[in-house]
Structure 1
Amino acid sequence: MAAPMLLSAEDVLRVNGSRRFAAAMAAASPFASLADALLAARRIWLNEVDVNGWLEAFAAHPAIGTTSPSVSKWSKEEQSALSTATDSTAQELAEWNARYREKFGFVFMICASGRTAPEVLAELKRRYTNRPIVELEAAAQEELKITELRLAKLFSSEPTVPSTTTEGPATQSDKAAGSSNRSRPPITTHVLDTARGSPASGIEVHLEMWKDSSALLSFSNKDFSGWATLGYSVTNNDGRSGQLMDIVDNIAPGFYRISFNTRKYSPAGFFPYVSIIFEIKENQTAEHFHVPLLHSPFSFTTYRGS
């Protein structure tokens, strides 16, 4: 069984810049699992951290789309999809960032993982029309999404599991940068709400790998603590998740599990949590695996897409 995760305030400050949040999370640790840490983070951020703590956390982030060398590796990873922005879009984004800060007094907060520059710009313009109190709440929710994503990185599996994001979160990405023939990670997903006939946004997605394939295959081992987290994201307005793992040419063969927190999206639904387990064989390591979820309140299905 995995050892509980003990977090120091310094660890948490890498995740969220609020000192009050960091102290409370450190006091609440150790955490037996990522799920326990995420529950604590949500409770502390929404119920124990005041507005000053929120603003302190916002101030730790660069303006969206910033390319300065001082920007942290995690911020660069989270905004990687913005790197292809055209000069005109980047300029407009910078102008709207300044306009937003002048109106609200803090940096525009958005969980940019998997979002393109035009998507971020459109959301910035939309939220610019909010009243300050409404926008403060929206920014706090986006900060929480980023916090949850970064906590998942802290809880990433041991170095023995290939293609994970471990300590020094950008280490694997840095090694792969510029060396992979892929344009996207080997495993991707999206969620479609079949009851509404539209993409399902705001659904938390976790990707894991089983560390002992033989034990899972035979089900002789009833201890299912062998799942190692590879990545975490939240579906965007198109129902697509952000990057769940590094972009590598060859993924490790084995069993993978992709899980969706559907309770928040559909509180009255029958399935509060959906997990899909699939196998990548030795001769499939260079292939792409798109594993979507087609969800309604009382049923779900999946398939292997492209």
Structure 2
Amino acid sequence: MGSGFDEKNFLACCGSTKFAREMAAASPFPTYERAVEAARDIWFNKVDVNGWLEAFAAHPPVGNPNSRTQKTATGEQWCHGEQSTALATATESSLQELVEWNNRYMQKFGFVFLICASGRSTPEILEELKKRYPNRPIVEFEIAAQEEMKIIELRLAKLFAAKAEVTSTISTQYYISQVTKAEDRVSIIGAHLTAASEVHGSGKASQNSARTRPPITTHVLDVSRGSPAAGIEVQLEMWKGSRPFPLFGELDSEGWILQGSSFTNSDGRSGQLMGIVESVDPGFYRISFNTGKYSPSGFFPYVSIVFEIKESQRLEHFHVPLLLSPFSFTTYRGS
């Protein structure tokens, strides 16, 4: 499964012309993983400071995706999708506050506040911006470069997903493995950056919660098209019945209590289904997807996924995605 991508495709993933040229010269890539390996080497070892700044400048301020900074139509479309959760969770006052902090950040550091915004709400982004603002410029420059790498990895995944024909079990499992690994990399990088930012910003580790998103999240991939499934209604419920756990087949019991609902965005990710809390309550949860409305000719009118969070898992994150086709679906626990 070769990549078959050109310089313009890679420019949509990263606004550095040096990066796009080097990636095009190194292609084709047989797998997504090989493309990511090359991208990391090029971004961190071959692109110079001017190239980093060129890539940063290709991003609009978070909360204003209509700023025409992206160098390709595809990049602009992806940018809108990546900021859709932030815009969907914003209020007039929070957007104004975000604009003010973006301007303050630009004046101090000389480049746009960069964050992998996909799936993040406006309050989450504001919190991260305020936390990073006290950093020394050299520390923040490195963090921005790491955030750019996260965005590159996610956009490469979109590039491969758009190209792949996910029509068999083998290709579906291939895509699952790549998305899972991408999520793992983003999670690991994010954890390291949070720790580094806290140490450089305050001189000691923060005692506050490290969460920047709700403990339960999801996204939907339409594997018959190899692309995210937008506009699907999603509901999260928790079992609070008289029994300690729901019985097999007990789908419509009054013991299921709604925690939150949302719709998937253009990246297939839902908005917040619950609040950002440090410790999630253990118990049984159910995520339901209104798949019948999304695909009226499909076999499944809706899909419900029930899972258990144990006492020992209170501080963990649970990403429970749905991979859907008209006549089959599957899921897994992501990060």
77 and 302 in structure 1: CA distance in 2 versus 1, 3 angstrom threshold:
closer
Match for residue 6 of structure 2? 8
Deviation at 1:10, TM superposition (A): 1.3
Deviation at 1:8, TM superposition (A): 1.5
Deviation at 1:111, TM superposition (A): 0.2
2:33 pairs with 1:77? no
14 and 94 in structure 1: CA distance in 2 versus 1, 3 angstrom threshold:
same
Distance 1:242 1:138 in 2: 26
Superposition pairs for residues 90-129 of structure 1, below 5 Å? Answer: 90-129=95-134
Match for residue 50 of structure 2? 52
Of residues 110-119 and 240-249 in structure 1, the stretch that sits farther from structure 2 once superposed is 240-249
Matched residue of 1:42: which SS?
helix
Distance 1:160 1:225 in 2: 8
Match for residue 29 of structure 2? 31
Distance 1:47 1:158 in 2: 28
Q: Is the 8 A contact 2:217 2:319 kept in 1?
A: no
Where in structure 2 are there 5+ consecutive unaligned residues?
70-75, 191-210, 221-227, 234-290, 292-297, 321-330
- Among candidates 128, 151, 154, match of residue 149 of structure 1: 154
2:230 pairs with 1:247? yes
2:178 pairs with 1:229? no
Deviation at 1:240, TM superposition (A): 5.6
Match for residue 137 of structure 1? 142
Distance 2:216 2:19 in 1: 29
Question: What TM-score does the superposition give when structure 1 sets the normalisation length?
Answer: 0.60
Q: Which has the larger radius of gyration?
A: 2
Question: What TM-score does the superposition give when structure 2 sets the normalisation length?
Answer: 0.55
Q: Which has the higher helix share?
A: 2
Superposition pairs for residues 120-269 of structure 1, below 5 Å? Answer: 120-157=125-162, 161=166, 211-213=167-169, 224=170, 227=173, 229=175, 233=183, 234-235=186-187, 237=211, 238=213, 243=219, 245-249=228-232
Distance 1:290 1:118 in 2: 29
Matched residue of 2:302: which SS?
coil
2:232 pairs with 1:286? no
41 and 77 in structure 1: CA distance in 2 versus 1, 3 angstrom threshold:
same
Distance 1:157 1:144 in 2: 20
Where in structure 1 are there 5+ consecutive unaligned residues?
162-210, 214-223, 251-279
Q: Is the 8 A contact 1:78 1:112 kept in 2?
A: yes
